[in-house]
Structure 1
Amino acid sequence: MRAWPAPELPDLDPSGPPVRLHDTASGGLVDVSPAEGPARLYVCGITPYDATHLGHAATYVGFDLLVRAWRNAGHEVSYVQNVTDVDDPLLERARKVGGDWRELAERETALYREDMEALRVLPPDHFVGAVESIPLVLDLVRELERTGSVYRVDDDLYFSVTADEAFGELSGWTREQMLAVFADRGGDPDRAGKKDPLDCVLWRAERPGEPAWDSPFGRGRPGWHVECTAIALEHLGPTFDVQGGGSDLVFPHHEMCASEAQVARGGARFARAYAHAGMVGYDGEKMSKSRGNLVFVSALRRSDVDPMAIRLALLRHHYRADWEWTDEELWDAVDTLATWRRALSLGAGASAGPVVDGVLAALADDLDAPSAVAAVQGWVDATLGTGGLADTSDPDAAGQVHRLLDAALGLSL
């Protein structure tokens, strides 16, 4: 599966500091600079049954900041993202609209690419669909079988979570907390024949009317979690730097991915750090299809909204925060960009050194985009002043700030 085109990015001098990130598993900030080689990131991608909404966009813009912060700190980056292009939500949507699930997945994935390109999100090095990863999944299931952690319920294969001594350490949740949400998040805790209610499907046997592929275990399709586990292990190795996604993936998805990998690879921790983006709400509730309160990036773009204004509105919230989208925030971002462009058009301006250092330091400190945006606004205010030019001591200030905005914040102005 192809990703979207990568924009050209300017180099920054000076380079940024080492990057620290909040790790869900430990509850604290950890240094995520790679010990050697490239920084390695896996971010769970979309299930393409509908268009990209602003909750998706906030997550992918957030982890785009991580890629940029690593690059600005002098690291190469190996970035992997999946597309769950076969799964229950996609099949259910296709049945409801009377269409082919493949066409639906292809159409919405194409729209996602367009949205990411418009928002100047850097593309992953490996953009991998679940369907194309089936051979990897089958290899991983074989590995897990050899550990004794796989069993059958009818013709389905399940992973036994008790095989991983570290199960639960990523989320820190109790069994009661896990069981309270498992059924609503793709699990089947009440299925008869399971060894543990929390065990998850690795390979789902063919059902009437559903897609299926041949395998040594019978015709069927992958479970949700094992897809990401197999893709990450293939492209990033047994232990990588950061696994990211929305906070609704902490359990069960990321917990299950980690356990499957750790059992298959002899206990090696799946990711050094687990980072999770907050949820975006609208009209008082979390943005979701079931609630009918989605705001789509493509719809805003079709209404001639500047994609950079959408991105700026997202950057004004910390990636880990839960917050609510409002139209007022978007229009304020439009006005703010107009002011920033006016300051940049002057060429000269307030000294660029402090804003460059401030932005890079803020982003290296758990991707603190709101502080970075505030630092840029400080430079704009100092350059424009209240009655025109206040400080034009740096003749190349606008050029430096323009490069900073592009390389660090993804704002091409």
Structure 2
Amino acid sequence: MRRSQAPSVRKLAKRGAQDLRDIVPKRAPSSPPMQWGTSGSSHKSGPRQLKPGENPLEDSRIFHVLWRNPSTKKHKIWTGNGTLVVTGSRGTLKDETGKVLGILTSFRPEQIREKKQLEIDLKEVEIQEEITTVEECIEVRNQEISNWCRKLDEENGHLVSPLIDVTKPQRPIMLMRKGAPIPPSIECSSSGLNITDCICLLNSAELQSQIMQILANESSPDVETIQRVVCDHPVLLSNQLDKFPSLRDIILPHLPAWYEMGLYDSAKFEFGHLMLDYIVLGRSQKCVLVANTDDCLKLFVGYCISWELSYIQIVENEDANRFNSEEDMMLAFITVESLLELDSLFLNSKFLILYNHEAREKMEQLLTVKTDTQIFTLVAADNVEESEVLEKFIDSKWKNIKPPFSEEFLQMNFLSDKEHLLKSVYIKHNNIKT
């Protein structure tokens, strides 16, 4: 999990608030408004609002941080974001809800600066940028209150969408580090592995693997349906399990609360983030993302808001025309259902990401793209998705590349920072109609 920039909806507001609400699912009713502000309140009452004129920086330094539990894994992931409040010789580590995770009482001044890593009460911590204004303190405190309310909603049985509400400025649930390194720009040459179509079989994230192992022991006819949801992101189960009570009771004890899940709990979602880092942030190129459902597309709304990227969900030809013509319109989201309704569509983009492999067949029939478009199909390996892909799409025209991957192959196909996610890659030249 990585920290994002403070979000803004300035560019997104061009279509109007109602359009944004159409893109993001409506949240279930929240708990009754809570009263904040008592200085002696415990964490059970939630973090208090800052009083008018109050300045937390008057006697403290405050830093954004990433934290995690100790791990011996090769590819470690951050559990969450938080803050480190340094007052005199005491440092207090807090999570995103303002809950105290640990106290640091022995440290050297040079240890408290950006990119430094510390251990605080068995938590590994990496310091991010320092908070330097009262305005940012207020923003962080309001976000802590918002996160705490979400947690209460969940604990009280309210079904809350696993996505942010873009009508309120707040940090998205799926986070990435501010200033995360962007891969260098690499242009495809006219020789060598100049591939335009990649089917990427992705190693499942740890949480995905755990749920798949549980499902493997079940004979319910609904197992495959749940598997597909898990392949996209386990957080989406929060809106699905009630439809399958027999499996719900088996899976729920092993499923974290939705607000505790993040970027690294889905191989597809992590891969998609890395692709957008490279394509949009690193190269300022337009990108199209196609998925089976709105829920899959909505996972990326937080990414767009974090980096102030303008996007559009294509539901009619006018939306496509706007995406093609406006230079600052960086991302287009479209569902397979919309493709079927529009019958045919042209999108001016050099990059196309298919979040679900089932979208390939309809995409090839109904979606026209540029001849040099790079196509990436994301498939969760070792389950129903991989089996279906091998049966439906893979033929003699595809070449299978397996680890260890050469650096040339990874660079030429924009996969250099995604090697840890790849089980294998099927490649061939573009056969999309032009």
- The answer, yes or no, to whether TM exceeds 0.5 is no
Relative to the length of structure 1, the TM-score reads 0.29
Relative to the length of structure 2, the TM-score reads 0.28
Higher relative contact order (CA 8 A, sep 6+): 1
Q: Give 1 or 2: higher helix fraction.
A: 1
